[in-house]
Structure 1
Amino acid sequence: MELHNVDLNLLVVFDHLLRLRTVSGAAKALGLSQPAVSNALARLRRIFDDDLFVRSAKGMLPTPLAQELAEPVSYALEALQNALNRKVSFDPRHSDRDFRLAMTDIGEIHFIPRLMGTLRELAPGVSVATVRNTAVNLAEEMSQGKVDLAVGHLPELTSEFFQRRLFRQRYVCMFRPGHALDKRTIRLRDFLEADHVVVTAAGTGHARADEILARQGVQRRIRLRVPHFAALADIVASTDLIATVTHKFAERSAKYFGLRYVKHPVDLPEIQINLFWHSRYHRDPANQWLRTQVFDLFSE
């Protein structure tokens, strides 16, 4: 016998007959008519090829097979009822959940310090791991719950995902204090004549900015290419290289490295930074809690 061949409602009737021992009592408890309960019992008898209950002066008595089925059926129905009634919740103060967030290294620079400060206060047992959104099959990893949230400019995450805008930002030109371009505005000619450092971050908003520059025929004199942003501020601070970076990264670099930045001489479009999560986890309490923290901290 296969489970998919058995109507779950029949097992509910069986359980009530077992406890109440009368068709009328089971019908009243279930809100059914007596003929409906009798019909259910007839179906059960055909399925199990057994009478299951026989009439007596003391009501409907279970057969040996019915007695054998009694405990597992009752246990299974109780477990299912508890599962249906269970309200899933997330208690950040007592959770030891390990969240995984997908972002670029420039995202780590902007988001992680403040986020970890908030988690230390609100969820001291929670830990975080970051993954590169270009290093995994992000859509698949998020659909399977292996990555909880993604942050960035990710137009490839479409129909299966929810998203909320965090902020928009523009591109600027960044350099060290005292650089020949250290003035209020810079001309395109001076920009092209300068030496550049470029971060080759494929699949990111920054890479798309580089593509736009190339399409517009802006041929920079690139002296250095690096695969990430981690050392970029140090490099710019100690050389005559200039960099095209996002405004928020330039602000942080100015604060911690004393760098300067001005409006970019090329009209580059702003990029939108969004928070993404998969539709499977839209109502998951832990996912809801984390994305609320991210949105409250970083949305503009």
Structure 2
Amino acid sequence: MNIRNFDLNLLVIFDAVMRERSVSRAAETLSLTQPAVSNALNRLRQMLDDPLLVRTRKGMEPTPRALELITPVQRALSELDQCLIKPASFDPAISQQRFVIAATDYVALLLLPRLLKLLEREAPGVEVQIKNFGPENPEAALESGEFDFAMGRFFDVSPRLQHQLWLEEHLCCLVRKDHPQINKRISLKQYLDVGHVWVSSNERRGMVDRWLQEQGHQRKIVSVIPNYTTAAMVVAETDLALVLPERFADDFCQLLPVKVLPLPMELGAFKVDIIWHPRHASTPAHQWLLEKLYGVREEVSKT
């Protein structure tokens, strides 16, 4: 028997008939007519090649085949009922939920201080873990539930995922304050002559290198570093340059002997997106966190 061709409503009727040991009482329980229940029971008898319920001196009794089916059918119907019940509401004040967000260090540094401050106030039991998703596409991890959300720059977002713009950002150049060749501006020639620290966790060339390639140029990358904090500290102690988001640059200027310069090319803004798998879209907990991520975005956008 192919389950795809099986009318699952017959199992509901089978369950009611087995509980009541009576077609008429089962019909009342299901708010159906007695002929409708009889017809359904007859269809099931034919499909299973078994009478299922027979008349005895004690009344209607299930056959051995029916007795074998009662428990697994009731268990299956119960599990389906639980799956179809609307998820319980999410109460952040008492929740102990743990969320995992895949994000770059840029997103994490913008997000975490603001989000954790909010959680302290509204959801003290909620835990947020940040993971770096590296060069691989996070789709499989989102689908499996390993990640609840992923945040960053995504060049190819699968149509199976949902996504939303989180932030727009511009790039700039960072060098040490007393750089011997570079003062208040950096020319394209100086940019190409100087050595560069490149921050990358996925080895994909970004906006700067694509622009340079289109113009027939290539910069000198001296070191590849996975995070901006380390890269900025390297720049503060060397004659190297670093391309980074403007919001980061302002923070580093307050902490390190570095200065911010506009890039010698017009690149426009880059986008940071939130992506998630639709299987989580309807859960109250994920809807709540998504709303808070948007709230953090509004705060970040003002800076």
Shift of the alpha carbon at 1:159?
0.9
What's the counterpart of residue 256 of structure 1?
255
Distance 1:12 1:86, change over 3 A: same
Distance 1:204 1:284, change over 3 A: farther
- Counterpart CA distance in 1 for 2:159 and 2:136 is 19
- Counterpart CA distance in 1 for 2:203 and 2:115 is 22
Q: Quick one: which amino acid aligns to residue 52 of structure 1?
A: L
Conserved? CA contact 2:162–2:277, under 8 Å: yes
Deviates more, 1:16-25 or 1:258-267: 16-25
- Counterpart CA distance in 1 for 2:2 and 2:11 is 14
Shift of the alpha carbon at 1:273?
0.9
* TM-score, length-scaled by structure 1: 0.81
Conserved? CA contact 1:237–1:259, under 8 Å: yes
- Give deviations 1:183-220, integer Å, cap 9, x for gaps: 2x443344445x33321516478734223224324454
What's the counterpart of residue 236 of structure 1?
235
* 3-state SS, counterpart of residue 164 of structure 1: strand
- Counterpart CA distance in 2 for 1:202 and 1:21 is 66
- Residue 12 of structure 2 corresponds to residue 12 of structure 1: yes
- Counterpart CA distance in 1 for 2:203 and 2:295 is 24
- Give deviations 1:16-74, integer Å, cap 9, x for gaps: 33444543443344333332211122233342623514288x9x622464567556544
Q: Quick one: which amino acid aligns to residue 141 of structure 2?
A: E
What's the counterpart of residue 287 of structure 2?
288
Shift of the alpha carbon at 1:138?
1.7
Distance 1:147 1:42, change over 3 A: same
Distance 1:198 1:213, change over 3 A: farther
* 3-state SS, counterpart of residue 230 of structure 1: helix
Identity in percent? 33
The 5 Å alignment of 1:130-141 reads 130-141=130-141
- Residue 219 of structure 2 corresponds to residue 211 of structure 1: no
Q: Quick one: which amino acid aligns to residue 125 of structure 2?
A: G
Shift of the alpha carbon at 1:291?
2.2
Distance 1:232 1:42, change over 3 A: same
Q: What do you get for the CA RMSD once the two structures are aligned?
A: 3.2
* TM-score, length-scaled by structure 2: 0.80
Shift of the alpha carbon at 1:232?
1.7
Deviates more, 1:260-269 or 1:84-93: 84-93
What's the counterpart of residue 124 of structure 2?
124
Distance 1:83 1:160, change over 3 A: closer
Conserved? CA contact 2:18–2:62, under 8 Å: no
Shift of the alpha carbon at 1:140?
1.7
What's the counterpart of residue 147 of structure 1?
147
Q: Quick one: which amino acid aligns to residue 35 of structure 1?
A: P
- Residue 95 of structure 2 corresponds to residue 95 of structure 1: yes
- Residue 226 of structure 2 corresponds to residue 225 of structure 1: no
Find runs of 4+ consecutive structure 1 residues off by over 6 angstroms: 1-5
What's the counterpart of residue 167 of structure 1?
167
* 3-state SS, counterpart of residue 235 of structure 2: helix
What's the counterpart of residue 267 of structure 2?
268
Structure 1: segments with no counterpart, 5+ residues: none
Conserved? CA contact 1:100–1:129, under 8 Å: yes
Conserved? CA contact 1:93–1:124, under 8 Å: yes
Distance 1:52 1:268, change over 3 A: same
Conserved? CA contact 1:154–1:204, under 8 Å: no
Distance 1:197 1:69, change over 3 A: closer
Equivalent residues, number: 295
Distance 1:258 1:285, change over 3 A: farther
